[in-house]
Structure 1
């Protein structure tokens, strides 16, 4: 099943497969979104991003990067910088 995600300016992320939704209520996520954060976990190998050049990243903490659309500012990605073993 392909999940499709779009931001208001029409830059679109697609995934061929996804896992159940994840939620976070930490202070970082609440500051970033204005409420709790909700998303899905997608392996990079399963992710296709249309207009990938529009995605910008910033380091929001020592262990997290956040991706956003440089055109409209919408939150697009959350990425842990911790290597998993």
Structure 2
């Protein structure tokens, strides 16, 4: 995979995956699959940890925050560009 190569060679970091790479839906899908692979680049752990921290800090147990993320992921939020990084999904 191209993302694997970029992570392995330093062209992309785990933090970049969360805060720069888009679209968020694809990045989240990639992270979900990659974290289960034994051959995944080490930067995957950093990205998964960053997403977990964002979820805890920005979403927590707030149903409205989770509703915003769901609307953004499913392109039902007309005020947000659906092609944005993971971190922008979780903005208030």
- The TM-score bracket by the shorter chain reads under 0.3
Query: Which fold has the larger relative contact order, with Cα–Cα distance below 8 Å and residues 6 or more apart in sequence?
Result: 2
Structure showing the higher helix proportion among its residues: 2
TM-score in terms of structure 2 length: 0.24
- Superposition TM-score, scaled by structure 1 size: 0.26
